[in-house]
Amino acid sequence: MPLPALTLSLQFARFDGAAEHRAALPRHKVMRWLRHALASDAEMAVRIVDTEEGQQLNRAYREKDYATNVLTFDYAQEPVILADLVLCAPVVEREAREQNKTLQEHYAHLLVHGTLHAQGWDHETSEEDAQEMEAYETEIMTGLGFTDPYAT
């Protein structure tokens, strides 16, 4: 079965250390990771931001006054998935270090995670939903050649 079609805008804000994040996110790999997490065709923007922009967006849209790893803005799921994913580079980098993962591996996981959110998956509704979403993320990530992102 062919993978869904994806139109992607990959954007990087200007911030210290942006080159390392660009290197971890080659367009062809980002496309591959997202397409493996999609159930249907999509148009998506992925933006890599600094702490200030990440915090501003989280405050404005989730009323949480801190920068988080990934924000998903889902606009439509039919007939085409329309979504924006915003990833906060310093948070992703810190979490990758804390979890003993490469920057690329953690970005791949968060892109898969955010893409599932764009399709209606939610881990905050119940423990059962969280376990189902984590299991699906693990299936996608291992299928992409990564280790289980939730293994400790």
Domain covering 6-143, topology? Collagenase (Catalytic Domain) (3.40.390)
Please calculate the CA angle 152-49-133 and round it to the nearest 5 degrees: 40
Token pair belonging to 39: 């159930």
Tally of residues, the chain: 152
Annotated binding site for Zn(2+): 113, 117, 123
| Binding site feature residues | 113, 117, 123
Of the candidates 80, 78, 14, the one whose C-alpha atom is nearest the C-alpha of residue 47 is 14
Is the pTM here over 0.85, yes or no?
Answer: yes
CA atoms 138, 42, 78, 68: torsion sign: positive
pLDDT tens per residue across span 41-83 = 999 999 999 999 999 999 999 999 999 999 999 999 999 999 9
pLDDT digits (tens, 9 = 90+) for 104-115: 999 999 999 999
pLDDT at 125: 87
Taking the domains of the chain in order of start, what are their residue ranges? 6-143
Residue 65 near residue 76 (C-beta atoms within 8 A): no
Stated as kind and residue range, the H or E segment containing 120 is: none
User: Distance between CA 6 and CA 106 in Å, rounded?
Assistant: 21
Contact 142, 148 (CB under 8 A): yes
CA–CA distance, 143 with 145 (Å, rounded to integer): 5
CA dihedral 2, 113, 115, 129 (to 10 degrees): 90
